[in-house]
Amino acid sequence: MKLLNIAIHDFRNIEQASLCFSSGINFISGVNGVGKTSILEAIHHLSTGNSFKTRFAKKIIQFDKSNFIVRGELEGACYIAIQKKADKTILVRINNEKVDSSSQLARYLPVQIIFDDLFNIIDCGPSVRRCFLDWGLFHVEPPYNSILANYKKAVYQRNILLKKNNSHVSLYQPWENLIIEYGLQLHQLRVTYINKLLPEFEKVLKKFNEHLNIKIKYHHGWGQAVLNLEAEILKKELNASREKERELGYSNKGAHRADLIFYTDSHFAKGTLSRGQQKVALIALKIAQGNLLPKPCLYLIDDLAAELDANTLYKICSYLKKGGTQAVITTLESTNPILNNIADKWFNVSNGEVAVI
């Protein structure tokens, strides 16, 4: 379902604003600090119940106000509303029914955020890349979330034993059996998903830059020597690593250590690609991930033009437009001919006030 409109109240520097979106490409222009990104952040709340910038509602609520409210209408007469108070109280409703889980929001309105932390997928540690994987698998493999939760619980219990330095094998076995059981399930779902994602990524990337050759390799998180993930082999791996892990105080091998490795021409992408090349590749990866979803994905893209040449900018916007994708994109420029020709609707923000151009 596409987002038809949004109403924002007391959200950062936006006291009150209402935007009716096109089902295609929507641009929001304005100088820095006027509230462009805040609109993306408000939309993101409708999908996840959270901000992509901070965990603290107090930083979002306007000064001297007690709460913020964001309301949105989706296609098919679906209404979402979220209120967050300074005392950390959160109220979320879908069609006026109270909702307790943010996962319910995500299933109504899948949103891909492309923000300045995009580069963390390459720059930062494996946990960022696992979050990227988890997002896609949550949407395309319904059992994934519950399997992941059960796996994490088993790892948590094993870590408690490791920290206590308990040595009796019988204490570990129940949790290690669950780590193996759920870890294998996670691995199989990830492999299936990645086998679909990588060809889609290569196809999208070629649309943006046919000369940019980037490969992605999946590592399952177990020891390098473990080539075939089978229960008995993994059991031996856990037994062999237990003594060292007692010293560490945590489980160092398993599906919770999985990673994606980016490389080009046998070199790590982080050290060889320019910032612009990384951005193109990561946008292609995010769009490829969105293409695999069973329902349309809304793209929120902050300052798309930064670090991109005019030709690449045109190719990305054209791809989104031709695919019938809904996107909300911020930009500093309101007179860019490339963007003007692509836009289905254009908004301008000035001092927290929004107007249609």
Return the pLDDT at 138: 95
Per DSSP, helices labelled H in the chain are: 36-48, 102-108, 120-123, 126-140, 144-164, 169-208, 231-248, 269-272, 275-291, 310-322, 337-342
Banded model confidence at residue 305, pLDDT cuts 50, 70, 90: very high
Percent over 70 (pLDDT), the chain? 100
**Per-residue pLDDT reduced to its tens digit, 143-168:** 999 999 999 999 999 999 999 987 78
Please compute the mean of the pLDDT values over residues 53-75 and round it to a whole number.
94
In 3D, which of 267, 290, 284, 278 has the Cα closest to residue 201? Answer: 284
**pLDDT at 224 exceeding the cut of 80:** no
For range 263-278, the mean pLDDT = 89
Six-digit token pair at 235?
């059991």
Which tens digits make up the pLDDT trace of 99-112?
887 778 888 999 99
Hey, what domains does the chain have and what are their CATH numbers? 1-110+295-357 (3.40.50.300), 119-293 (1.20.1050.90)
Q: What is the mean pLDDT of the chain?
A: 93
pLDDT confidence band for 352 (50 / 70 / 90): confident
Query: Cα 215–284–259 angle (5° rounding)?
Result: 45
**Interatomic CA distance for residues 301 and 171, integer angstroms:** 49
pTM of the predicted model as reported, rounded to 2 decimal places: 0.93
Question: Using CA atoms, how far apart are residues 106 and 48, in angstroms rounded to an integer?
Answer: 6
Q: Partners of 26 in the beta sheet?
A: 328, 345
Cβ within 8 Å of residue 323, ≥6 positions away:
291
Alpha-carbon gap, residue 11 to 67, rounded angstroms: 8
Rounded to whole angstroms, the Cα distance separating 314 from 230 reads 47
Residue 178 pLDDT > 80, yes or no?
Answer: yes
DSSP string across 297-323: -EEEESSTTTT--HHHHHHHHHHHHHT
Those residues whose C-beta lies under 8 Å from the C-beta of residue 241, and which sit 6 or more positions away, are 223, 252, 253
Q: In this predicted model, what pLDDT tens digit does every residue of 20-36 receive, in sequence order?
A: 999 999 999 999 999 99
Whether 271 shows a pLDDT value over 90: the answer reads no
Please report, rounded to a whole number, the percentage of residues in the chain having pLDDT higher than 90: 83
